[in-house]
Amino acid sequence: MGKKDKDSVLDDYAKLKNEIIRDKVNEIFRNHPKDHIAKMEELGFVYFEDDDDYEEIEERNARPENQRQRDLIAYLENKKKLSKKIFESYSEEKAAESPNYQLIRKYYKEANKNLKSLLLYGLDNYPGRIDLLSDLSFFHEFENILSILITYYTPKIFSVFS
């Protein structure tokens, strides 16, 4: 058997082995969706979580870049009271050409009560604003506020059908 034949046999073996592994992995995901990690480890795979949470690093390093952002952060950190100006700062930041999302994102993740108050203030004063409804829905991912979401979405839904 020549070198070329050995390479061909080894290539065929590698392809077959990869097909078998792929089939087993597909079977695990199909038949064991809730415990796929343990089943994959039984096949010899090693599970590990990525220790680098890039969003968390971005959020930790984010700094206010202008007065609007400083005012907004001061409010979110209980150093200022909610006002129309604070709400406008939030709205302007979200509408900015390059919003500093990483600066605000951490307040969503911690379900900041001031952020929730800001969103509700906005919806009370500007009912049906889709951007605020969307922000409130995102906030709901971090604090269960389903009844509040229903309250603010309901008028919008009924107006669509009127």
Cα–Cα distance for residue pair 91/131, rounded to 1 Å: 9
pLDDT score for 47: 75
pTM check: above 0.75: no
pLDDT score for 54: 82
Q: Give 140's contacts (C-beta < 8 A, 6+ positions apart).
A: 146, 149
Residue 86 in contact with residue 40, Cβ under 8 Å? Answer: no
Helix segments in the chain, DSSP class H: 3-31, 36-42, 54-61, 67-76, 84-95, 101-109, 113-125, 130-140, 146-161
- Output 34 or 69, whichever has higher pLDDT: 69
Share of the chain above pLDDT 90, in %: 55
On average, the pLDDT of the chain sits at: 88
Paired tokens of 102: 């990483």
